[in-house]
Structure 1
Amino acid sequence: MIKAVIIDDEINAQSLLEKTLNRYFPNKFNVVAKCNSVDSGVQAIKQHEPDLVFLDIQMPEKNGFELFKYFDVINFEVIFTTAYNQFAIKAIKRSALDYLLKPINHLDLAEAVKRFESKTAGSSAQKKLALLLENLNVNDQKVSKIALPTVEGFELIHSNQILYCKAESNYCCIKKIDGCTKTAAKTLKFVEEILPANSFQRIHKSYVLNLNYVVRYHKANKEVELTNGEKLPVSFRKEEEFINAILQNH
């Protein structure tokens, strides 16, 4: 049985989540506590030592992110629950953490539970949450590190170390400036969304490029040349957008 704590200031949301867990995952979850604030949630976590915490972000007195300052060691996994919040969701994605949009759909919940079960116990929650809190305190231009989900787990990469990203079916190849390549277990679209928008640009259906490493653009054959000598294609549909981005970036 997976010991779970639900923290949400809305009583109806608590009950709905518990009922959904019981209905679609019979005999898999034991909800040991339902709490309506960060403070009561902290007490419940310290008392019950859950495996998983479902944590609402927007709560009246303290938001969900404040929960973590009460723990020196994070030995539980977290799935955030939230009404749509672009800034918070981007920070969560950059930290390779999980979230569910309210109202919670049982299919989305099933996917989140599947990802939780595939994680190795206690391996990464601390690092991911530390990165999340770091990302929440900076704006898009100052994001330094992102957590890329890989087949093995996740890897922290400084965004300025990324030369370009290339689509490979449902995966994404990350080419770094040191020449090595990493494979993210996510689509190019997902990776594009978590990269800082001021320095990364989609130039083709298969490529997202770091504008800081562009040397020149060959307009005749629609190729961009990078600092490492590689040349990448620029699609006709993306050309104007790419040129404007280069001009704004420099």
Structure 2
Amino acid sequence: MIKVVIIDDELSAQNVLEKTLLRHFPNKFNIVAKCHSVDSGVIAINNYTPELVFLDIQMPEKSGFELFKQFDPVNFEVIFTTAHNRFAVQAIRQSALDYILKPINHIDLGDAIKRFEERKRKLSTKDKLTLLLENLNVNDQNIAKLAFPTLEGFELIHSNQILYCKAESNYCSIKGIDGTTKTATKTLKFVEEILPSVFLRIHKSYVINLNFVVRYHKANKEVELTNGEKLPVSFRKEEEFINAILQNN
């Protein structure tokens, strides 16, 4: 059985998560401790050496992120639980870590557990947490470092080095300003969700970095980028694109 520690300042949230785990995943998890704070969670982790920690982000005394200052290396997997905090969720996504939104339901929990069980050829937990804390500390979200899943593991790319992203069936190609192309093993929709607001979907197949737009050819409905490439702008996206360009300059 997988040893689990739950850290959440709300007793009701602890109980809901425990009951959901035991009901929908019988004989899979051994919940060795339920803690109400970061400090008590640190003690439990040291005492029980769990394989998986469910960690609330926002707690009264210390943020859940403070937990990782007490461990080097981090020898357990983490699934964050949160009711809100949009910026924290974005940083978690960008760092290839997992989370579930409250109120927790068994479907979302099941998906998170499946990802936990299938984690192979990925960044170490320590590397993912380092990336998370780095992204949380970035003042300008447009230069956050993103973790893109690839066939080999993960490719870490600063968002300000990305020219555009293109849909390639169930994969996505990422064109860098240096001319290189990387392939992410995720859909364009997934990649779009982790990109900062300076990126915009202009077509079903393209998401571009607005900082690298040179001009827009309205007659041909094509946007020209700094590398000379011209990409199509769909009729449905044209108005949104034009407004975004005007606001970005």
Aligned match of 2:221: 222
Aligned match of 2:210: 211
Q: Which amino acid aligns with 2:79?
A: I
8 A contact 1:148–1:156 mirrored in 2: yes
Aligned match of 1:147: 147
> Does the residue aligned with 1:229 lie in a helix, a strand or coil?
coil
Q: 1:142 to 1:212 in 2, by over 3 A?
A: closer
Deviation at 1:123, TM superposition (A): 4.5
Deviation at 1:229, TM superposition (A): 2.6
> Does the residue aligned with 2:17 lie in a helix, a strand or coil?
helix
Equivalenced residues, count: 249
8 A contact 1:149–1:155 mirrored in 2: yes
- Give runs of aligned pairs for residues 1-250 of structure 1, distance below 5 A: 1-120=1-120, 123-197=123-197, 199-250=198-249
Deviation at 1:121, TM superposition (A): 8.6
Over the matched positions of the two proteins, sequence identity in percent amounts to: 78
> Does the residue aligned with 1:215 lie in a helix, a strand or coil?
strand
Q: 1:110 to 1:159 in 2, by over 3 A?
A: same
CA deviation map 1:112-136 (0-9, x unaligned): 1111111139952111111111222
The answer for unaligned runs of 5 or more in structure 1 is none
Q: Following the alignment from structure 1 to structure 2, what is the Cα–Cα distance between the partners of residues 147 and 122?
A: 10
CA deviation map 1:128-181 (0-9, x unaligned): 111111222234545331112334432211111211112234432212223332
| 84-93 vs 33-42, greater mean Cα deviation | 84-93
Q: Which amino acid aligns with 1:207?
A: Y
Q: Following the alignment from structure 2 to structure 1, what is the Cα–Cα distance between the partners of residues 234 and 47?
A: 57
Q: Following the alignment from structure 2 to structure 1, what is the Cα–Cα distance between the partners of residues 61 and 105?
A: 27
8 A contact 1:203–1:235 mirrored in 2: yes
Q: Which amino acid aligns with 1:185?
A: T
Q: Which amino acid aligns with 2:211?
A: N
Deviation at 1:88, TM superposition (A): 1.3
> Does the residue aligned with 1:182 lie in a helix, a strand or coil?
strand
Q: Which amino acid aligns with 2:22?
A: N
Q: 1:10 to 1:163 in 2, by over 3 A?
A: same
TM-score between both structures, scaled by the size of structure 1: 0.92
Q: Following the alignment from structure 2 to structure 1, what is the Cα–Cα distance between the partners of residues 77 and 55?
A: 10
8 A contact 1:75–1:122 mirrored in 2: no
Deviation at 1:19, TM superposition (A): 1.8
Q: Following the alignment from structure 1 to structure 2, what is the Cα–Cα distance between the partners of residues 193 and 122?
A: 20
Q: Following the alignment from structure 1 to structure 2, what is the Cα–Cα distance between the partners of residues 186 and 80?
A: 21
The answer for unaligned runs of 5 or more in structure 2 is none
RMSD between aligned residues: 1.9
Q: 1:91 to 1:165 in 2, by over 3 A?
A: same
Q: Which amino acid aligns with 2:6?
A: I
Deviation at 1:34, TM superposition (A): 1.0
